[in-house]
């Protein structure tokens, strides 16, 4: 149980950040660590690095959707596609220096934003299927929600903060690990 406790706490913290963000979307919407953890987890640890963020997202998605007034629909595929794109992009930053991983993480936030808003525009019947409807999806969004540029701003801020923290923590842990001594003959 003691080995699993940090993982359980990690999932609870991730889940709570998602729930708090959904309860107060005007101020905390998209200020969450999941995007950074998906990208950095894949870039630094491979597939095993995305298991916890994926688990936290799948466990909290129904609750956060209900809090925000969304019913259960295929709309959950939109952020899933965005996270998949982040993970795919992160594969190209495997074994890269922390600065490159950080820049890649920021680029993945832009990819996530563009992809998810494009998919929302394409599949949401409330958006007019024209250039003006597309720019509305990328800038102001639907009238009943906060503007999508705020989502993008918050996503960039959280991606920078949480990627920086995650990279710093990973570097600190690795620096404090005992070094293996070469075998002597």
Quick: pLDDT tens for 6-24.
Answer: 556 666 666 666 666 666 6
Q: Which residues of the chain have pLDDT under 50?
A: none
- Assigned token pair, 64: 């956060």
Q: Closest Cα partner for 82 from 115, 107, 52?
A: 115
0.85 exceeded by pTM = no
Q: What integer pLDDT is reported at residue 63 of this predicted model?
A: 76
The string of DSSP letters for 89-104 reads: HHGGGTT--HHHHHHH
In angstroms, rounded to a whole number, what is the distance separating the alpha carbons of residues 153 and 175?
33
Q: What integer pLDDT is reported at residue 34 of this predicted model?
A: 85
Q: Which residue has the tokens 């808003």?
A: 117
In angstroms, rounded to a whole number, what is the distance separating the alpha carbons of residues 162 and 131?
34
């Amino acid at each position: 149980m003691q080995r699993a406790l940090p993982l359980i706490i990690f999932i609870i913290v991730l889940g709570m950040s998602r729930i708090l963000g959904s309860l107060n979307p005007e101020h905390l919407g998209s200020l969450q660590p999941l995007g950074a953890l998906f990208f950095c987890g894949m870039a630094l640890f491979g597939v095993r690095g995305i298991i916890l963020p994926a688990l936290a997202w799948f466990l909290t998605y129904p609750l956060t959707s209900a809090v925000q007034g969304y019913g259960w629909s295929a709309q959950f595929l939109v952020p899933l596609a965005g996270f998949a794109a982040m993970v795919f992009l992160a594969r190209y930053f495997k074994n890269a220096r922390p600065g490159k991983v950080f820049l890649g993480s920021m680029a993945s936030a832009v990819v996530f934003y563009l992809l998810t808003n494009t998919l929302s525009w394409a599949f949401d019947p409330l958006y007019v299927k024209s250039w003006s409807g597309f720019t509305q999806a990328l800038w102001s969004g639907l009238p009943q929600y906060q503007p999508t540029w705020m989502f993008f701003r918050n996503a960039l801020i959280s991606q920078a903060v949480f990627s920086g923290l995650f990279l710093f923590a990973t570097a600190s842990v690795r620096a404090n690990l005992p070094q293996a001594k070469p075998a002597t003959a």
